[in-house]
Amino acid sequence: MAAVTVKRLAVFLLCAFVFMKYIVPRLGQEILSRCFGYIVSVIISYAIAVNVKEGKVQVSGKSVVITGCDTGIGNALARYLDKRGFRVFAGCLFERGEGARRLKAECSGKLQVVQMDVTSDQQVAEVAQFVQSAVTVSGDVLWGVVNNAGIIKLGEIEWLPVESYRQVMEVNLFGMIRVTKAFLPMIRRCKGRIVNMSSMQGLFSSAVSSPYSVSKFGVEAFSDALRHEVDKWGVQTVIIEPGNFSAFTNAMEGDSITKMMDDVWSNTPDDIKEVYGLDYFKGVVKLLNTGTLSMSANTLKPVLTAIEDALIDENPPDRFSPGNAHSKLLTWFFCYLPSTVTDYLYKLSYALSVDKAKGVTAAEPVA
């Protein structure tokens, strides 16, 4: 939802007045026609108002911390914000890794790579202390924190150990909480921004990716609570809910999905393997490989500009949902259609692409 401002409220009221005063009366005198006209007037007025552009804050003198900059969206975002004039502290899991090395070599001198494992209290605290000292010396302010670091584990629930859920939660959710708490005092002093990376799978859960969805539902809950709590300090919290950008993440490129799933299957107990069967497993892997990458967005620009807007718009909306048409349609389907409909779509996609699980075929009817 877009932030309510005087400008947007004025635009909404003006549009509503024009529609109801001059357009609705032309629809006729029938009560239903009038009621329909008033409803449509409110919807159109709201749509116009929320798209009214507000001003932008000045980038000069502002720093931003980004987590998860080794690869993917985080690495691209560090480069993008560096070019836009921010002083970037790019948190990397491997400070001497290839991604960090290329950031140092290819970006401006203002960008600094920092060693930050978001699961480590010590490393996060050390980076916060380093950033505090750096901005104090330079006279900059820490304007934003972008909690981008994330991992994914794929597999059906019976195939995955509880430890897989812990690992994903530790990075995607608890890492976000840890980083936010460490940097919030600096953000509060300049009334800056916290930008948290969620996902469309933080809005609905899908088969074979339950650890990821569980963590992103947690991100949504944490971010909503944070937004309410820090509003009194003038700090704004914005959630980014990207669609399918899997073509730009290392976890999904090449044969990464197959390798991940093979590892999961090799560690699945034999009795569970027997119930599902190898043919079913191979069908799921094939569906993931073909469906995930074929429906990915072909550019990162929407998600990069959404994060930039979250940082520099004077009154950013609570949420941005960058993605291609397929991602937006899929999100709408699963958020607004009855579960009976969406469950049927799941069953249909599996029926067309995946063999039945061995245990389902052999199951005997219950007396």
Q: Which residues are catalytic?
A: 212
28: left (phi over 0), alpha (psi -120 to 50) or beta: left
Say how many C-beta atoms besides its own lie within 10 A of residue 144's C-beta: 25
Our CA angle for 237, 243, 245, nearest 5°, is: 110
* 212 touches 168 (CB < 8 A): yes
Grouping H, G, I as helix, E, B as strand and the rest as coil, residue 1 is coil
3-state secondary structure labels for all residues of 121-156: HHHHHHHHHHHHHHHHHHCCEEEEEEECCCCCCCCC
Q: Determine how many CB atoms are found less than 10 A away from the CB of residue 223.
A: 25
Question: What backbone phi and psi angles, to 5 degrees, belong to 320?
Answer: -120, 140
**Host H or E run for residue 74:** helix 72-83
CA distance 150 to 59: 26
Nearest to 75 by CA among 353, 306, 300, 334: 300
Residue positions counted in the chain? 367
Query: Cα 308 from chain centroid?
Result: 14
